[in-house]
Amino acid sequence: MLWLAVPVVIEQFLVLLVTWTDHWLTAKYLYTEHLAAINLTAYILWVIPCIFGIIGVGATALVARYFGAGKYRDASFVTNQAILLALTMLTVITTIAWLYADSLIAIMQLPDDATQAAIVYFRIVIPGIPFAILHMISNACLRGAGDIMSGFITMFIVNVVNVILSLCLVTGYGPFPELGWDGIAYGTAIGYMVGGTIIIGFLVKGRFHLKLHLSQMKPDWDVLSRLLKIGVPGGIDMICMVMFQMWFLTIINSLGSVQAAAHGTAIRIEAMAYLPGHAFSIAATTLVGQFLGANRPDRATRSILLACAWGGTLMIGAGAAFYFGAEILTGLFIGDNTREAVTLAAPLIQIVAISMPALAIVIIMTGSLRGAGDTKWPLLFSIIGLLGIRIPLAYYLCWETISIPFTDIVLQGMNLGVRGAWYAMVVDISVRSVLVFARFLHGGWKTIRV
């Protein structure tokens, strides 16, 4: 468990460091509207990989099952089919993103200055998206095989490239031009390109019995249907998660650039707590799939409990740091032009600190269920939590008045602003933790056929 999880903790820290660097540079050298814009583009760039979660979830589950059963050729063939499907979808998705970039940004209801900044950033980053997706799918296959180091090595290099280029292009350091806001976007896009190229190179050479062959990239409808059978519910779960999160973000954006920027800063800091949760979720996903493939459901169960114990303990520790060190953490992002927004983020991370035990269960057990191929129940739980609880509660807690669409009814809200949105988030997480834990106890995930 630790052999699988520790490199992922480091890898995810490097991923976080990339976003922190971009956020820090924006806060230090630019303005509040840019801080609001970079938060929005982070959500937009989260949507596209989640669409490809349809492939990634299925690929991880199938590769892990085949590895557990010692069927390495079948695992390699699944990898080739997953890359083929990703390339096909990329052609469509990237074209849509380029043609409708302005519309995708505009619907998020940011003020005009922040909207224009976000559009500029997004258009620069779009050419790097195919590389980011190929990185994601390749990594999903390798993790199913138990290879954690490839992702770690790749993200280390991506991080170095992104940090150096973004810093130099924002400030005009040395021989680099001073591009300001555009420089952060170019650093991100080039980092994506480098990461995707490296990890595809690993698969072309061959890693953990997984190797790309053009001859294995002819469509095999049986394998593709099995990939989609597992991946579609899991992918829809991820897409729903992001779409509902973006809906949630529009509620916050309607409060103005200052509160939107505060939300974005708090999200960056909160992401620290996701590191151990996500790492142990990936470790459990791999082990659950491999143990079920080896007909050892008892060890799959033990893997989930062990992941929750380790990951949950670390996340609770992060929650304590959030609660008692909120002002110190937010102070890292304060700039001359962003002080008001960043200061407002401190109470937000104190609010979310109390939800860390529940958040650990949601992250780790959801990943574990996906590793077993049990993707329908997590989808249902996400819909209940986000659509049924978080969004309506956020409207009530954030706004002073709520107009019911297609009626003349106007309800009185609590008018708590962005703090209300974070209270709603804590309630949603708490409810979903109970639901996913109940599914684990039920045990139906042990008998899912993939």
CA–CA separation, 76 vs 267, rounded Å? 37
pLDDT greater than 70 at residue 203: yes
The answer to which of 125-139, 231-245, 289-303 has the lowest mean pLDDT is 231-245
The residue among 10, 13, 42 whose CA lies nearest residue 266 is: 42
Three-state secondary-structure class, residue 93? helix
Mean pLDDT value across residues 346-364: 91
pLDDT greater than 70 at residue 110: no
pLDDT greater than 70 at residue 405: yes
Residue with tokens 């978080």: 390
Domain count, the chain: 1
- pLDDT band at residue 270 under the 50/70/90 scheme: confident
* HSE-CB for 199 with a 13 A CA cutoff: 33
pLDDT greater than 80 at residue 291: yes
pLDDT score of 334: 67
- pLDDT band at residue 447 under the 50/70/90 scheme: confident
pLDDT score of 338: 67
pLDDT in tens, 333-343: 766 666 777 78
The answer to whether the beta carbons of residues 194 and 201 sit under 8 Å apart is: no
CA dihedral 253, 254, 259, 260 (to 10 degrees): 10
pTM for the model stands at 0.69
- pLDDT band at residue 431 under the 50/70/90 scheme: very high
Mean pLDDT value across residues 237-254: 79
**CA distances from residue 140 to 66, 101, 131, 132, 385 in whole angstroms, order as listed:** 14, 27, 14, 12, 26
pLDDT score of 269: 82
Element (H, E) at 411: strand 410-412
Mean pLDDT value across residues 89-117: 77
The residue among 153, 148, 164, 144 whose CA lies nearest residue 56 is: 144
Write the CB contacts of 229 (distance below 8 Å, at least 6 apart in sequence): 58, 450
Mean pLDDT value across residues 205-211: 87
Mean pLDDT value across residues 209-237: 81
Going by the DSSP 8-state scheme, the letter that residue 179 receives in this structure is -
pLDDT score of 357: 93
Q: pLDDT averaged over the chain?
A: 83
The range of the structural domain enclosing residue 299 comes to: 2-447
Going by the DSSP 8-state scheme, the letter that residue 207 receives in this structure is B
- pLDDT band at residue 120 under the 50/70/90 scheme: confident
Write the CB contacts of 42 (distance below 8 Å, at least 6 apart in sequence): 19, 264, 267
- pLDDT band at residue 396 under the 50/70/90 scheme: very high
The answer to which of 231-235, 240-244, 435-439 has the lowest mean pLDDT is 231-235
Mean pLDDT value across residues 26-42: 72
Mean pLDDT value across residues 64-70: 83
pLDDT greater than 80 at residue 234: no
Element (H, E) at 66: helix 53-68
- 118 or 405, which is more confident: 118
